[in-house]
Amino acid sequence: MQTDPGKIVDPQELMVFRHLGARLPYNNLLRQYEVRLTRVELQSRISTAMSRAAAAASRRLIDPLVPLTWEFAGFSQHGEDGILDYLCDHVLEPNRFFFEIGAADGIQNNTAWLAFARGYGGVWVDGDPALCAHARLAIEGMMWNVFVIDSFVDLESVAILLKMCPHQQPDVFSLDIDGIDFHIARRVLELGVRPKIWVVEYNSVFGPDRAVSVPYARGFNRWSSDPSGLYYGCSVNGWRRLFSGHGYTFVTVESSGCNAFFIDAAAFPPGFARELRGELFRNNDGDLNGATRPVRDTDGHNVLPLRDWRKQYPCIRMLPVVEIE
């Protein structure tokens, strides 16, 4: 059977070949075919992301002072592609290098737009070997300046991983590991790495005012730490405390309430950040967890809960947090 390079591969077709590959004597040949199908699927997803970005970007009415108007999404889950694209356009001395921890499969993350559309080099780090394998397939034969590292990240491994960052001031550093993010970012800064742009995931369940993080625990997993899946990461005000203490300027959170952006104002034109009217906080509109799944009411009907941190926080209020000074 021949595959059409422009066709998105049916996931059930992949499942059939995985099943056959595990049972038939010629499974090596079938696995090679599975890799080919996966590569075609990844290329289709890349094309879709590029088209999605082009359509979304063309609809923007950009206000230089309102960061939410910079948003568009192609590879990113929400509007991160557009915000990073705008910020990168204004970096005074770009080195066109990113470093992303929690890069997933290389197609849905915060820096894939920079890699595929803008030709940036960089490093993708993820602790899932299967996702890393997909990321390698996605860039194979297309780019030679992006490197994929399969590794869990903790305080002991950060310094080793940063040896793959040849710039003391990479243009972009993205961090999204659903756990000990605050502790990793603080360690990066302590090691003297000073990215021009930071994009970090925040946990809106902690609310807009508290400056807190989950305690450091090697191998932290949000789902095993609490069945709700709400106990992870750092509050947006916690991030503001950390980064302001290192001379960074807050830019905005994006409209879906997932990521926050900070810049080293010295890396941008004078006054660039002075008048910005960034969004200070939003509830996370995209996460699926124990507080956002439909529940049955007394009549047996499904009811979708309101996504409001005030309703979600009681699920984790008894769990320990670290206050950020």
Q: Report pLDDT digits (tens) over 225-251.
A: 999 999 999 999 999 999 999 999 999
Same domain? For 116 and 29 the reply is no
Same domain? For 83 and 31 the reply is no
300 found inside a domain = no
Same domain? For 157 and 10 the reply is no
Residue from 158, 152, 120 nearest 139 by CA: 120
Q: How far apart are CA 114 and CA 97, in angstroms?
A: 9
In the chain, the amino acid numbered 246 is: H
> To which H or E segment does residue 51 belong?
helix 27-58
For residue 239, give its domain range: 70-289+314-323
- pLDDT tens digits along 255-267: 999 999 999 999 9
Single out the residue in 12, 31, 59 at which a domain terminates: 59
Residue from 111, 102, 105, 246 nearest 171 by CA: 111
pLDDT at 36: 80
Same domain? For 112 and 212 the reply is yes
Kindly tell me if the per-residue pLDDT of 120 is higher than 90: yes
Look up the pTM and report it: 0.88
- pLDDT tens digits along 51-105: 999 999 999 999 999 999 999 999 999 999 999 999 999 999 999 999 999 999 9
Q: What is the CATH number of the domain that holds 254?
A: 3.40.50.150
- pLDDT tens digits along 23-47: 545 567 777 777 788 888 899 999 9
Kindly tell me if the per-residue pLDDT of 13 is higher than 80: no
Same domain? For 138 and 44 the reply is no
Same domain? For 106 and 2 the reply is no
- pLDDT tens digits along 137-150: 999 988 999 999 99
pLDDT at 11: 53
Instruction: Give residues with Cβ within 8 angstroms of 34, minimum separation 6.
Output: 14, 17, 18, 21
Mean pLDDT, residues 310-324 taken together:
95
Q: Alpha-carbon Rg of the chain, whole angstroms?
A: 21
Single out the residue in 59, 85, 107 at which a domain terminates: 59
Residue from 192, 180, 195 nearest 98 by CA: 195
Same domain? For 115 and 21 the reply is no
Kindly tell me if the per-residue pLDDT of 3 is higher than 50: no
Q: Which regions of the chain does DSSP assign to beta strands (E)?
A: 97-101, 121-126, 146-150, 172-175, 197-201, 212-213, 249-253, 259-263, 295-296, 302-303, 322-323
Query: What is the pLDDT of the chain when averaged over all its residues?
Result: 91
Domains held by the chain: number: 2
Same domain? For 33 and 163 the reply is no
Q: How far apart are CA 287 and CA 207, in angstroms?
A: 15
Q: Which regions of 134-215 does DSSP assign to beta strands (E)?
A: 146-150, 172-175, 197-201, 212-213
Single out the residue in 36, 59, 82 at which a domain terminates: 59
Same domain? For 44 and 141 the reply is no
